[in-house]
Chains A and B, each alone.
Chain A
Amino acid sequence: MMPPLDFVRLLDEHGPPLILYARQWCDTPEDVVQDAFLKLISVRQAPHKIVGWLYRVVRNGAIDAARTDRNRQRREAAALPPARWFIEVEVDGLDAEAAVAAMQRLPIEQREVIVARLWGGLTFEEIAEVADCSASTAFRWFSAGIDALRQELGLPCSTTRLPNA
């Protein structure tokens, strides 16, 4: 049984990134993440790698939710405002809406790896376990996705930081 303080810390630290991760597939990511945490409480023996286990459960739940709620999502898409991915509106001259729009145009494999790596803090080996691929494939998808985002956002391929717009 997981101590309550560990559960709170895990929820505060990984809850928002997990929501963002689940959002790559479905429009009800909060429900999926909540179900994943409840499953974590219900399991008789805590998994060895809790964070990786949570990402895998959230991934499966989000894919299932996307399958079952696809029709409902289509109907409600026009009525609901677009979900906010990030708290900040702008970071270091990078507009959040533009970044989100560029990410949404990426293939799901690249988006998944970028989110898990940048905001989930998972290593490429952990991502490979979650996404059922090799670590090299995960790294390749990540690199390709970052390059595509750079092109989408009109940023030069350089290591120097751009001045604020």
Chain B
Amino acid sequence: MFDDPLAKRLSQFTPDGAGLDRDGLFFAAGRASVRLSRKWIALIGALILTQGVTLAFLFWPPPPHVAPVPDATPTVAAETPSPRVGDQAGMWTDRESNFGADNKMFPNILVEPMIPAQPPLRAFGPLPADLLQ
């Protein structure tokens, strides 16, 4: 390989590589060889963002309750006037409808006797005539 004898003799020396930590280098190389793809980075970022928004909604203090301020201009409601308490005509009209002209309450209701008067109720039928004689 080398024409010069000194170069040939020098090349027979073996460089000392004892200072190289092979195990440590392989370990570091294994870690360095792992690359995170951009899709995973984007997915992780989106998950972090959504998680943050969710936590913000959960733990954000609610706004103080503010009572509605009434409108300055009063609104006039179109109400129908209620009958006055002392309206005599209304009172008498109600009384007549309830009592009627004969001054009886509920005059239109027909009251029938609950048990008819004839014939009287007996446990047995009428006695035979020969027995009565």
Binding site for B on A (CB under 8 A): 1, 7-8, 11, 15-17, 19-20, 29-30, 33-34, 37-38, 41-42, 83-88, 91-94, 96, 99, 114, 117-119, 146, 149-150, 153, 155, 158-162
What are the residues of chain B within 8 A of A30 when measuring CB–CB? 19-21
Measured CA separation A3–B21 after assembly (Å): 20
Given A1-B33, A7-B29, A11-B25, A16 and B15 contact (CB-CB distance below 8 Å)? yes
B97-127, CB < 8 A from A: none
Find chain A residues with CB under 8 A from B25 CB: 11, 34, 37-38
B36 interfacial by beta-carbon distance below 8 Å = no
C-alpha gap A34/B5 in the complex (Å): 33
A17 to B17, CA, bound (A): 8
Answer yes or no: B65 CB below 8 A from chain A CBs. Answer: no
**Contact between B15 and A85, CB atoms less than 8 A apart:** yes
Let me know if A85 and B10 touch, CB within 8 A.
no
Query: In the complex, how many angstroms separate the beta carbon of A57 from the nearest chain B beta carbon?
Result: 14
Asked if A86 contacts B20 (CB within 8 A), the reply is no
Which residue of B6, B13, B20 contacts A149 across the interface (Cβ within 8 Å)? B6
Shortest CB-to-CB span from B43 to chain A, Å, is 21
Q: Which residues of A contact B3 (CB under 8 A)?
A: 159
| Chain B residues bordering chain A, tally (CB within 8 A) | 27
Question: Once bound together, how far apart are the Cα atoms of A114 and B13, in whole Å?
Answer: 13
- Whether A19 pairs with B16 at a CB distance below 8 angstroms is yes
CB neighbours of A94 from chain B (8 A)? 9-10
- Across the A-B interface, give the 8 residue pairs with the lowest CB-CB distance, nearest first: A16-B17, A16-B15, A20-B15, A86-B13, A30-B19, A118-B11, A87-B14, A91-B12
Q: Which of B7, B18, B24, B28 has the most CB of A within 10 A?
A: B7
Give A38 to B5 CA distance when docked, in angstroms: 37
Q: Are B16 and A118 in contact (CB under 8 A)?
A: no
For residue A161, which residues in chain B have a CB less than 8 angstroms away from its CB? 5, 9
Most A Cβ at <10 Å: residue of B3, B12, B20, B22: B20
User: What are 25 inter-chain pairs, A to B, with CB distance below 8 A?
Assistant: A8-B26, A11-B22, A19-B15, A34-B24, A34-B25, A38-B25, A41-B33, A42-B32, A85-B13, A85-B16, A86-B14, A87-B13, A87-B16, A88-B12, A88-B13, A91-B9, A92-B9, A99-B13, A117-B7, A118-B10, A119-B11, A119-B15, A146-B4, A146-B6, A150-B6
Residue of A nearest to B4 (CB): A146
Q: Assuming A92-B12, A119-B11, what are 4 further A-B pairs, CB within 8 angstroms? A: A41-B29, A91-B12, A150-B6, A159-B4
